[in-house]
Amino acid sequence: MGILIMLKQGWHKVYNIASWEWALLYALPVAGVILALFYYWFAIADRYLVFLYYHDMGLLVPDTSPFSKVTASRYWMAGLVACGMIMLLYIFANWVMGRRSKRYYPPAWKRVWVIAAALLSIGLPAITMGVNDPRLPAFLAVLVTVATLVSLALSLMPGALAARQPKRLLWLFLDGWGVALLLWTLHHMADIEEWMDMGAKWRIALAIIILLAGCCWLILLSFIQVWRRKMFEGTVNLFLAGLCVAYLLIPLLHYVLFSDDYRYITNSDNFFARNLGIQFLAWLLVVLIVWGIRRFRLYLAMKCSSDPVEVVLAE
C-alpha cells in the first residue's frame, strides 16, 4: 500500500518518520541485502574459504574444524560484516536523498530495525540451519541472528545524520576512528601474558603505540573542534561512533580489502576478548577515556571562548 501511494503521489508527500509504511520501504531492502549475503556465504560460496575450515593457524589454534570455537566465531562475525555493508549503503542512500530535498527525512531507525529484525529472525536461521553442509546447530544459528540484529541497530543509527547533518556525521566518523583504536587495543589485555610467554614483546609495544595513537588522535580532534567552534558530541554518541567503526566498518574492510583472494570472514579474536569479563572491562575503560576526552573538550572550550554561554549551548 505504501509503495503504491509513493508511486502515485511522490515520496515527499507521504513520508512520515513515525510511519510503519515508510519504515517498511527501507526495511525490506535492508533485510534483503543481509539475507542475500548470508545465502551467498552459506549456500553458494566455498565455505572452506569463507570460514577457513581446517585452515592452519599454528599451535595456538590447533582446531579449525567447522564447529570449533574459532570457526564458530566466524559465523556470527559474518553478521558484523553484513551490517557494515548496510551501514555504508544506508548512509550513502540517505545522504543522496538529503541532498536532493531539504524536506527529506528517513524513517525512525528503530521502526526500520523492528521490521527488518522480524524478517531476519526467520530468514537467518532458515539459511544457516537449512542450506549446504555443515548446517549450523540451533544455538549457533541463534548466536548469528542475535549478533546480526545488534549490529543492524548500530548500522541504521547514522542514517538521519547522513540525511540532515552530514558534516556532524563526518566529525563523528573522525572521532570514531580514535575510539576504535582504543577498543581494538584494550580488548587484548588478557593476551599480554600469552604474548610474554611467546616472547612476542613487540605485540605489547605495538598495542601501546596504537592505544597512544588513539588518545592523541582524539586530543588533536579536540583542539581542531574548539578552533572550528564545533558542537561537542556526548559520551554516548562518541562511544557509539567507535563501535560502528571498530565492529562494522573495520570487519567489512578486512573482508573486502585485506583477506587476499579468499574473501574470508575474520574470527572474533581480532576484535573481541576471549573472556567476557575482560571485554566488558575494556568497554568500561573506553567509556571512561571517552568521557575524559569530552570533559577535556569542554574545559578547553571554556578556556578559549570569550562567551561561556556558547560552551554551555554546545554541551
pLDDT one-digit tens code per residue, 107-144: 989 999 999 999 999 999 999 999 888 899 999 999 99
- What are the Cα distances from residue 128, in Å, to 36, 67, 99, 283, 314? 12, 13, 39, 30, 47
Specify the pLDDT at position 197.
Answer: 65
List b or e across 79-115, with b for residues whose CB sees 16 or more CB atoms inside 10 angstroms.
bbbbbbbbbeebbebbbebbeeeeebbbbbbebbbeb
In the DSSP assignment, the letter for residue 67 is: T
Same domain, 147 and 218: no
Same domain, 93 and 53: yes
Same domain, 224 and 122: no
Same domain, 301 and 231: yes
Out of 98, 131, 164, a domain closes at 164
Specify the pLDDT at position 213.
Answer: 93
Question: In order along the chain (315 residues), what is the average pLDDT of each group of 10 residues?
Answer: 40 57 90 96 90 77 82 93 96 92 87 95 94 90 96 95 91 94 86 68 81 92 84 87 95 85 84 88 94 89 61 41
E strand intervals along the chain: none
Same domain, 306 and 190: yes
Calpha distance 74→83 (Å, rounded)? 14
The number of beta carbons lying within 10 Å of the beta carbon of residue 54 is: 12
- What are the Cα distances from residue 299, in Å, to 231, 296, 303, 305, 307? 13, 5, 6, 10, 13
Specify the pLDDT at position 66.
Answer: 86
Residue 37 belongs to domain spanning: 1-164
Same domain, 282 and 159: no
- What are the Cα distances from residue 253, in Å, to 57, 92, 246? 21, 16, 10
C-alpha cell at 264: 574470508
Same domain, 307 and 257: yes
Same domain, 11 and 85: yes
Calpha distance 45→128 (Å, rounded)? 13
The number of beta carbons lying within 10 Å of the beta carbon of residue 150 is: 17
Say what angle helices 69-100 and 166-186 make with each other, to 10 degrees. 170
Pair 182, 247: CB distance under 8 Å: no
Residue 1, SS3 per DSSP = coil
Calpha distance 70→67 (Å, rounded)? 8
Specify the pLDDT at position 225.
Answer: 86
C-alpha cell at 154: 548500530
Out of 164, 197, 228, a domain closes at 164
The residues, ordered by sequence, that sit 6+ positions from 99 with a Cβ below 8 Å of its Cβ are: none
pLDDT digits (tens, 9 = 90+) for 10-26: 444 445 565 778 889 99
Same domain, 131 and 179: no
pTM recorded for the entire structure: 0.86
Same domain, 199 and 170: yes
Out of 164, 186, 216, a domain closes at 164
Report the candidate in 18, 28, 140, 164 with the shortest Cα–Cα distance to residue 78: 140
Same domain, 119 and 99: yes
Pair 106, 17: CB distance under 8 Å: yes
Specify the pLDDT at position 309.
Answer: 37
Specify the pLDDT at position 104.
Answer: 86
Pair 51, 81: CB distance under 8 Å: no
Looking at the 3D structure of the chain, how many domains does it have?
2
Same domain, 210 and 288: yes
